[in-house]
C-alpha cells in the first residue's frame, strides 16, 4: 500500500507491519552507510555547505498529505551530515557511537518512558541508578555516593554548582531566593569550559564571580597561584565557595593536579568540583587512570558517556561524594507526584534534576555494558590515548611542526611552522590551514588559542582511526600550507 494512502488514516501509522517494514529499510540504509565508510567509499568527512545553501536545500512548506519521500530525505540527511564514523573525523569531542547503542536509543525513544519519576520509567530509573553506583565505585567513592544522569555537561556542571551553593551558603537559596551574592566566588582554571561561566550567569552570580587561575607550562591550574589569589580575595573579605578542576581541559586535554586542589579545598573548607566530562572515562584504564589521583576526594564530578564511552548524545552523570548533597540543587513540592521526603524517594529523580521530562538515558549504556562488558571501553580508551601519544612522537620528529604541550589524553594541539614567519603570521597560517582542510571535506580538525598563539587541534576519539590516517593528515597539511604560501 502506498505511503500516501496510509497517511490518510493515522491509526495505520501505528501498525506493526508498517513499522517493521520501515525499520528494516532504515537499518539497511544505515548499514550501507557504515559499509561505505568501512570500504572508504565515503571520502568526505563533512559537507562544505554554508547555512544559506543548506536553507535552500530543505523546503519549508509542508503539504497537507505529505510527499512520502522519507527514504530520499533520509539519504539526503546522511549525505549532508558530518560523518563521525569516518576515521578522518578528528575534530570535536563527539563520539562515533556504537551502532548497537544507537539501535537501543531507538527502543528508548519508542517506549518514551520519562525517567524523572519512577512510575513513568521504572526499568530505566533502576538502570541509571546501577550505572551511577558503578561509576561511583570507579571514582573511589564509598556507598554514600549518589547522583543522576542529565542532558550534557553544561547542565551537569550547573547542577553541581547549585548543590554547592546550597550546601556552602548560610541560607536556603532555593526557597528564599538569591540575596547578597555579590561577595561569593568560584575559582576555575583559565582553561575551563565556557559552560562554567554560563552556569554562574544562570545562577545569578554573574561572570564577575568567576576567578580564573593562571596555568603552568603544561596548562594545568597553577597551585601556587591558587594560594596567592585566594589569600588576596580573603583579605578583601570575599568568599570562595567552590573550585572547579579540569579532568581534562577541552582545549589541550590536560588534567589538573586533583590531589593538590583537594588539599587546598579541605584546608579552606571549599567545595571541590571536577569537570570530568571528557576525561573521567580514563578511570576504566589501569594504564592511565593514575592521572585522576585525588578525584575520590572531590565533592562532585560530571562524567559524559557520550564522549569516551561511545554513546550517542546526550548522557552525563552528575555524581556527589555525599549522596545527600544531590538533593540540594533542586527541591520542590509536587503533591500529585511526591509523597515523601526527597531522600526517601531516591527513585524519583525529579527531586535532583532540572528536567521534569527526562529521556531513558541509562538504557543504551546499561545494555552496552551488560552485553559487551567493560573491556571494550577500556580498550577504546587505551587505544585512542596511545594513538595520540604516537602521533605526538611523529610530530616531534618533524621539523615542519611543533606541539603545544605533550598530550595527557586523546586531545592534541600542534601547528605547522614556517621559518620565515613571525607568531602573528603563523597564527594566520594555522587559521587558513584549518579553513582549507575543512573546505576540502577530507578531514575534520579544529583550532584553539593558547597564550596568544593559534594551534590546530585534534581529538582522536574514533576507534576506527589509525596512525596512517594521522600521517596522511600531516602530509596534507604540508601540501595545503605550501599552496597558501604560493597564493
Report pLDDT for 486: 61
Residue 333 pLDDT > 50: no
Cell of 40: 572508504
Greater model confidence, 182 or 169: 169
Cell of 192: 575551563
Alpha-carbon distance 117 to 356, whole Å?
8
Report pLDDT for 8: 60
**Residue after which a domain boundary falls, among 341, 372, 403:** 372
Report pLDDT for 336: 37
pLDDT tens-digit map of 235-277 = 999 999 999 999 999 999 999 999 999 999 999 999 999 999 9
pTM of this structure: 0.93
**What total number of domains does the chain contain?**
2
Residue 182 pLDDT > 80: no
CATH number at residue 212: 3.40.640.10
pLDDT tens-digit map of 27-83 = 999 999 999 999 988 889 999 999 999 999 999 999 988 999 999 999 999 999 999
Report pLDDT for 339: 53
- 355 and 221 in a common domain: yes
Report pLDDT for 10: 87
Alpha-carbon distance 466 to 252, whole Å?
21
Phi-psi region at 449: left, alpha or beta (left = phi > 0; alpha = psi -120 to 50): beta
| Selection from 192, 309, 305, 321 nearest residue 246 by Cα | 192
Greater model confidence, 188 or 207: 188
- 54 and 114 in a common domain: no
Enclosing domain of residue 300? 107-372
Q: Indicate the SS3 state at residue 452.
A: coil
Note whether residue 190 is domain-resident: yes
Report pLDDT for 269: 97
Report pLDDT for 123: 95
Note whether residue 14 is domain-resident: yes
- Alpha carbon 415 to its chain centroid, in Å, reads 24
pLDDT tens-digit map of 186-206 = 999 999 988 899 988 898 888
Residue 334 pLDDT > 70: no
Report pLDDT for 343: 66
Answer whether the bond into residue 323 is a cis peptide, omega within 30°: no
Note whether residue 421 is domain-resident: no
Report pLDDT for 422: 78
pLDDT tens-digit map of 109-166 = 999 998 888 888 999 999 999 999 999 999 999 999 999 999 999 999 999 999 999 8
- 283 and 163 in a common domain: yes
Phi, psi of 275 (to 5 degrees): -85, 90
Mean pLDDT of 6-12: 72
Report pLDDT for 349: 83
Confidence of residue 350 (pLDDT cuts 50, 70, 90): confident
Residue 3 pLDDT > 90: no
Note whether residue 142 is domain-resident: yes
- 129 and 66 in a common domain: no
- 122 and 229 in a common domain: yes
Block residue for cell numbers 562532585: 300
Alpha-carbon distance 113 to 72, whole Å?
30
Edge-to-edge strand list for the sheet holding 446-450:
401-403, 411-416, 453-459, 446-450
Phi, psi of 2 (to 5 degrees): -65, 140
- 144 and 47 in a common domain: no
pLDDT tens-digit map of 352-384 = 888 888 899 999 999 999 999 999 999 999 999
Note whether residue 27 is domain-resident: yes
- 70 and 124 in a common domain: no
Alpha-carbon distance 254 to 217, whole Å?
11
Helix (H) or strand (E) holding 148: strand 146-150
Note whether residue 247 is domain-resident: yes
- 119 and 50 in a common domain: no
- 66 and 133 in a common domain: no
Count other C-beta atoms under 10 Å from residue 474's C-beta: 17
Note whether residue 263 is domain-resident: yes
Length of the chain: 487
Q: Which is it for strands 271-275 and 316-320: parallel, antiparallel or unpaired?
A: unpaired
Alpha-carbon distance 380 to 285, whole Å?
10
**Residue after which a domain boundary falls, among 353, 372, 391:** 372
**Would you list the DSSP string of 167-224?**
HHSSS-HHHH---S-TTEEEEEETT--HHHHHHHHHTTS-GGGEEEEPB-TTS-B-HH
- 321 and 198 in a common domain: yes
pLDDT tens-digit map of 383-438 = 999 999 999 999 999 999 999 999 999 999 999 998 767 778 999 999 999 999 99
- 19 and 160 in a common domain: no
Q: Residue 213 forms beta bridges with which residues?
A: 189
Note whether residue 21 is domain-resident: yes
Cell of 324: 545527600
Report pLDDT for 174: 75
**Residue after which a domain boundary falls, among 320, 350, 372:** 372
> Per residue in 303-333, is it b (16+ CB within 10 Å) or e — as a string?
bbbbbbbbbbebbbbbbbbbbebbbbbbeee
Cell of 296: 575520590
- 59 and 119 in a common domain: no
Amino acid at each position: 500500500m502506498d505511503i500516501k494512502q496510509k497517511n490518510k488514516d493515522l491509526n495505520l501509522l501505528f501498525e506493526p507491519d508498517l513499522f517493521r517494514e520501515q525499520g528494516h529499510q532504515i537499518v539497511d540504509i544505515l548499514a550501507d552507510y557504515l559499509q561505505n565508510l568501512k570500504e572508504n567509499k565515503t571520502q568526505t568527512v563533512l559537507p562544505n555547505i554554508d547555512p544559506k545553501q543548506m536553507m535552500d536545500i530543505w523546503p519549508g512548506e509542508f503539504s497537507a498529505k505529505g510527499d512520502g519521500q522519507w527514504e530520499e530525505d533520509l539519504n539526503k540527511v546522511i549525505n549532508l551530515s558530518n560523518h563521525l564514523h569516518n576515521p578522518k573525523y578528528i575534530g570535536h569531542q563527539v563520539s562515533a557511537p556504537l551502532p548497537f547503542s544507537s539501535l537501543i536509543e531507538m527502543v528508548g525513544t519508542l517506549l518514551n518512558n520519562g525517567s524523572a519519576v519512577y512510575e513513568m520509567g521504572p526499568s530505566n530509573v533502576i538502570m541509571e541508578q546501577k550505572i551511577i553506583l558503578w561509576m561511583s565505585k570507579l571514582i573511589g567513592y564509598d556507598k554514600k555516593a549518589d547522583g543522576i544522569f542529565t542532558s550534557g555537561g553544561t547542565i551537569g556542571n550547573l547542577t553541581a554548582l547549585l548543590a554547592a551553593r546550597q550546601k556552602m551558603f548560610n541560607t536556603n537559596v532555593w526557597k528564599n531566593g538569591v540575596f547578597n551574592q555579590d561577595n561569593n566566588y568560584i575559582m576555575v582554571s583559565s582553561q575551563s569550559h565556557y559552560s562554567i561561566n554560563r552556569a554562574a550567569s544562570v545562577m545569578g552570580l554573574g561572570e564577575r564571580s568567576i576567578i580564573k587561575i593562571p596555568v603552568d607550562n603544561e596548562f594545568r591550574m597553577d597551585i601556587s597561584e591558587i594560594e596567592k589569589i585566594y589569600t588576596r580575595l580573603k583579605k578583601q573579605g570575599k568568599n570562595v565557595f567552590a573550585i572547579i578542576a579540569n579532568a581534562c581541559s577541552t582545549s589541550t586535554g590536560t588534567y589538573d593536579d586533583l590531589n593538590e586542589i583537594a588539599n587546598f579545598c579541605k584546608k579552606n573548607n571549599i567545595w571541590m568540583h571536577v569537570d570530568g566530562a571528557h576525561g573521567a572515562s580514563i578511570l576504566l584504564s589501569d594504564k592511565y587512570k593514575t592521572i585522576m589521583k585525588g578525584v575520590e576526594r572531590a565533592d562532585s564530578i560530571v562524567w559524559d558517556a557520550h564522549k569516551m564511552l561511545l554513546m550517542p548524545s546526550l548522557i552525563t552523570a552528575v555524581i556527589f561524594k555525599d549522596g545527600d548533597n544531590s538533593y540540594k540543587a533542586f527541591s520542590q513540592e509536587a503533591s500529585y507526584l511526591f509523597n515523601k521526603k526527597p531522600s526517601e524517594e531516591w527513585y524519583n529523580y525529579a527531586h535532583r534534576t532540572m528536567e521534569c521530562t527526562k529521556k531513558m538515558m541509562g538504557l543504551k549504556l546499561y545494555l552496552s555494558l551488560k552485553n559487551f562488558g567493560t573491556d571494550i571501553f577500556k580498550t577504546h580508551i587505551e587505544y585512542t590515548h596511545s594513538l595520540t601519544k604516537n602521533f605526538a612522537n611523529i610530530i616531534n620528529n618533524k621539523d615542519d611542526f611543533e606541539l603545544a604541550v605533550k598530550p595527557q589524553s586523546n586531545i592534541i594541539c600542534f601547528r605547522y611552522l614556517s621559518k620565515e614567519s613571525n607568531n602573528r603570521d603563523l597564527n594566520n597560517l594555522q587559521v587558513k590551514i584549518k579553513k582549507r582542510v575543512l573546505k576540502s571535506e577530507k578531514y575534520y580538525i579544529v583550532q584553539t588559542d593558547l597564550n596568544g598563539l593559534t594551534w590546530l587541534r585534534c581529538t582522536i576519539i574514533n576507534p576506527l582511526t589509525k596512525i596512517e590516517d594521522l600521517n596522511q593528515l600531516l602530509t596534507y597539511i604540508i601540501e595545503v600550507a605550501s599552496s597558501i604560501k604560493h597564493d
